[in-house]
Each structure stands twice: as structure tokens, then as C-alpha cells.
Amino acid sequence: MADTTSSVDTEDYIAIQRFPYAEAALLDRRAFQEWFALFTDDIRYVVTTQVARPAQDPTSQFAIIDEDHNALKMRVDQISDPNLTHAENPPTMTRRLVSNVEAYYGERNGVFEAQSNILLYASRPGEPETALHAGERQDTLIRDSNGFRIDKRTVNLAQAVLTSGTLSQLL
Amino acid sequence: MENNATGWVDSERGLVSRDAFISDEVYRLEMERIFNRSWIYLAHETEIPNIGDYVVRTLGNAPVIVVRDTADSVKVLLNSCRHRGAKLCRGDAGNTKNFVCPFHGWAYEIDGALRTTGFDHHFREDTDFGSMGLVPAPNVESFHGLIFANWDKNAITLRDYLGDIGWYLETFFNRTPGGMEVLAPPHRWRTKANWKIGSLNFIGDSQHSPTTHIGPSTLDSARTIRDGFRKHGQDSFHVVTDEGHGCTLTYLTPGMPEKNYHTHPDALKPLYEKSLNTDQVSMLHHLRVCVGTIFPNLSFIESQVGAGEKAVSVRLWHPVSGTEMEVLSWVFAEKEADQDYKDRVLRNGFHNFGAVGVFEQDDMELWASATSASSNPIAQQYPYSFQTALPYLDSPAEDHKWPGRAHRPADTEVAQFWFMQRWDALMRTNES
């Protein structure tokens, strides 16, 4: 968890807030390779769901994806090529809504800890029901001359069972 | 039911009625004739290592608590109060000293015995409180940590039920003295597909691999899979055993170089030799992928893909209706393996198989499409084809030394049809 005493100043906040908007736009127009280029080579990309336990117990999140650059690249390559995917061909129609952005200064200059909420709306062709996935996103961002890169991303989905099937979309 | 007398499976022509894969009436009969009479997998013992640990699962279509009681034995209890039916546990897992119903307060010991209703003094004096515990599954047994239960009190033992497939299961779940452990809670997802598609896929559907999994089998990081698919058939085979179980073993030709053993950590190999017999160790030496199904709805796979760790994973295809299932998916490693290896097995396992697996996402898409497109009276007039089973059904491999009946090549539908024939036989039994 980021140190919440070190909120970034307004100028940095606006830049950091814009970043997930641009990122969501890339994913929604299926520019997956451009999206993947936003990650550092050291990326760790984690998505979790929860075990529903009694309220007295600590929250029990566990990874359903925990990937490095190579593994994530293969996942991105697979859904980027229409000949290599069934789950994303025809394409899932998606909208990603990102909100509740908070940002803090990270461990060194140029590093930021950002939090946001993401709501993914996904409609599969031929499926009568649409899927909604809501999650809390925690990112470690590194700023370089080209803007921000994502060095670590954790998405904690507010679900114990993925009720609309396997998840082929990126978060 | 109109298919009751004749069955759903046409053994002469290698066809199966689509009704078997979409009908809610068939689902209802499956619960009665298969799921409430068969050994059903529920959990692994390492999910509930401590006294009072429990997980909530489903046995047939009944919600159950799988709990380790004070005697350190595993009990399976109906998750419904004997008073007015509320659930004792409304989450999925936890640890408790007792079960107290939140509705009116009936309290039970963790072995299910009724401790107090809170109003015992208002009951008649001859009330037999001893008979008012949580309803237990009459048969609960473990096979190397794999916990199964059976609602049928006259059931044969789990060992007898597993029979020859046990030899193969042992090779994956009892190959070190410490056994296997679950590395994370199960992934869970719903899919709008009939549960049997999952069981059939794992018992031996080699034909789907190059097309369904065109992505992973084409991309460089999974080259091993692509090469494996190309060579499928000659050096691989199906094994079928009594009760409808079976598995498919790839790359197991005697005399083949032992090129697949290097993916196991060296530190574990002496332990394999200690726990397994020579034939089982030899199988591990050659094996690339073993994928199988324990009738009716437990599947397992050990596969070497991607970076090379051999993730052992277990899948439960839990029927929700005729056209929907909930899938639970666990990843395992040897208890004695070091943490770094376990972490890699887990990550690799998730990447390929699981709620977001690069294999599973395409399976689910196509299984749901098969179920959806079959759910109409026109489609129902045209049965599914299992015809590539027919030329091979009566000609098992004669050189198979290990348990079960083997069939070559491994890209036929022999094992799948074997499963459907067993399913059909059980579905046509009327005695209760």
C-alpha cells in the first residue's frame, strides 16, 4: 500500500489521471500491442479474485494471473492475431471505465504509486448476457522521457467466482 | 423419459443424442442416477490442513461443508440446518470451533453432532437429539489427499471405484513421500456449457488441440505443444478403465529418449523412485502430457508447456443445469519441492489453464457455442458424432503392460465414447 501522506502535486496528479484514460482507450480499440508497450521489461502483472471467508478473517485474495513480460507477451500476441484466438474473434465489445484515481510519490524520484478503480463492460457476440468486472487497480508507474510506464500492476477483482466465464480481456 | 429405454448413445453408429448435452431433464436424472450414487471429488486434504478448517463445496447438487474435525478426520456435512434449513456456512472457506446457525441458533460440533438447539427445554422429553446432527455424507474417502464423497451408503469403496485408473493417479499424486499440495485456492468460473464437454475434453479429445488451441500451439513460447500436436498419434495412446474412467498419455513410446524428465527438479527424482514402482517412474521419464477424467466430473492434467515446469492441475466440472457448469481449478506441486519451483509451477499453471488461461479461454468460448447452438429442436434431431471411436473400440493395444485397456492412436474418440457408454448405462438404470 502506498504511503498516503505523500500525495502528488496537482500537475503530476493530472498527468497520472490521464494515463489510465489513454490506456483504457487503447484496450477498447484493441490496440493490444501498443498497450503492451506501456509496460517495462520487468513488469509483473497480477489479477486476483477472492475466497469468500467470514468477515472476521482477513481478506483472502489470490492470483488468477501472475505474469512476467514473456508470459504477458504471449497472452497479448494470442488475442492480437485474429487467426490465433477464438475467445476474442469475433472481438469482445468492451468499455473500460476508470475512476477514483489517487497517486502518491514512490520510493524514488520519477516513481509513482497510483490507485484506481476499473469497471470492464464486456459483450461477447452471440451471448445474450454482458459481463461486468469491477476491480481495484494498484500500479507502480515509472516516468521517463516518453511518459509513464507500468512497472507493476495488481488488479483485485471484487469476485469469488467469475460468473461470466473465463476472462480473455486485459485489465 | 423418451430416451430412457433406448438410451442416448447409439453404439452401433457412434452417435450421441444432443439431448444429453442440453436438457435440464437429463441434468435432473444425472443428479439422481450418477451424481448421488458415484464418488464425487470435493477437495484436497491440503486445503484443510488444520482442525476446524473447512471449505464449502457441492456434492451432487447439495451444498456441503468439507471439514477437518477434532479427531483429525474429514467429514462432509450437508450445509443446511436441521431446524429450518439455513446455511451454517455462507462463505467458501474458514476455520471454526463449531457451526452455529445464524437463523435461530442451533449449534453443532464440527463433526456435525447437535450440541444445542438453544431451546432444548421446550422439546418433548423423548426427543432424540443424537439423531439431529447435520446430515453427513455416508461415505467419505481420500486417495492420496484427494477427498471424494458418495451419498450412496451402499457404494463400493473408493479404491474399488477408481480401480485401474488409480495406478495413473498415484503417479501424479503420490510420487513423493509427502504427496502433493494445493498451491492456491481453486479458480472458479461459470461457463454456459454442459459439464460433460469438460469430462470428454480431458479423457481424450486430442482432435481439438490443434484447432481450438491454435494460439498457444502456434506462438513460439509454446513450441513444445505445437510439435507435440504434430506428432500426436503414433507415440501416444488412450487408456480406459472400468467405471468410465480414462486418460490420454502422449509421447510414451518405449525406447524414446527420456527427454521429458528434465522438467522435474533433480531433488525430487530420488523421491519418485522411493514412492513409485519402476513402471510408474518409467512413465514419468517419457511422458509429455497426461490428461484424464475420473468419472463423472473430475479431470486432471500434467503438462509440460511454456517454460517447462510440469504443472499438475485438477479440474472439477460441476453441473449447474443442463446448459451451465461451474469449473473449479487447482494447481499442485510436490510438498518437498522448494518454494521457487512451486511459485513457477503455479504461475505457469495459471498462464495456461485456469480462469484466464490461454488454453482455457478458447475452450470455454467454443464449449459454450456448442451448447448454445445445440439447444433447439432442429439441432436436436442431429446427434453428435463420435464416429472415429468405432474402428478402434474393439482392438485394444496388445503390448500395453500397465493397468487398463490401451488404444492407439491417441487422436481417436475411443476414450470419449467409452465415457459416454458408461454414462448411458448408468442413466438407463432405474433402481434407486
Residue-level pLDDT at B232: 46
Residue-level pLDDT at B305: 58
Helix orientation angle between B165-173 and B278-286, rounded to the nearest 10 degrees: 70
Sheet holding B74-78, edge to edge: B74-78, B62-68, B53-59, B93-95
- Cα atoms found within 13 Å of the Cα of residue B42, Cβ hemisphere only: 36
Q: Where in chain B is the domain with CATH 3.90.380.10?
A: 183-427
Residue-level pLDDT at B355: 87
pLDDT at B137 exceeding the cut of 50: yes
Q: What's chain B's average pLDDT? A: 91
- Candidates A83, A165, A168; nearest CB to B368: A165
- Name the minimum distance, in Å, from the CA of B188 to any CA of chain A: 5
Higher pLDDT among residues B149 and B354, named by residue: B149
Give CA–CA dist A113/B56, Å, rounded.
37
CB contacts, 8 Å: A126 with chain B? 369, 372
Contact B365 A163 (CB under 8 A): no
Residue-level pLDDT at B252: 55
pLDDT-above-90 percentage for chain B: 78
Tell me which residues of chain B, numbers 222 to 261, contact chain A at a CB-CB cutoff of 8 Å. 222
Give CA–CA dist B31/B96, Å, rounded.
30
Per residue in B66-112, pLDDT tens? 999 999 999 999 999 999 999 999 999 999 999 999 999 999 999 99
pLDDT at B231 exceeding the cut of 80: no
- The mean pLDDT of B387-403, rounded to a whole number, is 94
- Candidates A65, A85, A163; nearest CB to B215: A85
Q: What is the CATH number of domain B40-158?
A: 2.102.10.10
Residue-level pLDDT at B233: 45
CB contacts, 8 Å: A163 with chain B? 189-190
Report the amino acid identity of residue B393.
L
pLDDT at B15 exceeding the cut of 50: yes
Give CA–CA dist B135/B133, Å, rounded.
6
Parse chain A into domains and list their residue ranges. 10-157
SS3 B164: coil
Q: What is the CATH number of domain B183-427?
A: 3.90.380.10
- Name the minimum distance, in Å, from the CA of A22 to any CA of chain B: 24
Contact A167 B356 (CB under 8 A): yes
Q: What angle do CA B324, B293, B355 make, to 5 degrees?
A: 50
Contact A165 B185 (CB under 8 A): no
* Complex confidence, ipTM: 0.93
CB contacts, 8 Å: B216 with chain A? 74, 78
- Candidates B93, B187, B366; nearest CB to A64: B187
Region of poorest pLDDT, from B1-5, B160-164, B208-212, B272-276: B1-5
Q: B102 and chain A: CB distance < 8 Å anywhere?
A: no
Give CA–CA dist B15/A154, Å, rounded.
47
- The mean pLDDT of B303-317, rounded to a whole number, is 79
- Which residue positions in chain A have pLDDT lower than 50? none
Q: Which residues contact A21 (CB under 8 A, 6 or more apart)?
A: A98
- Candidates A54, A84, A124; nearest CB to B218: A84
Q: What is the CATH number of domain A10-157?
A: 3.10.450.50
Give CA–CA dist B392/B87, Å, rounded.
49
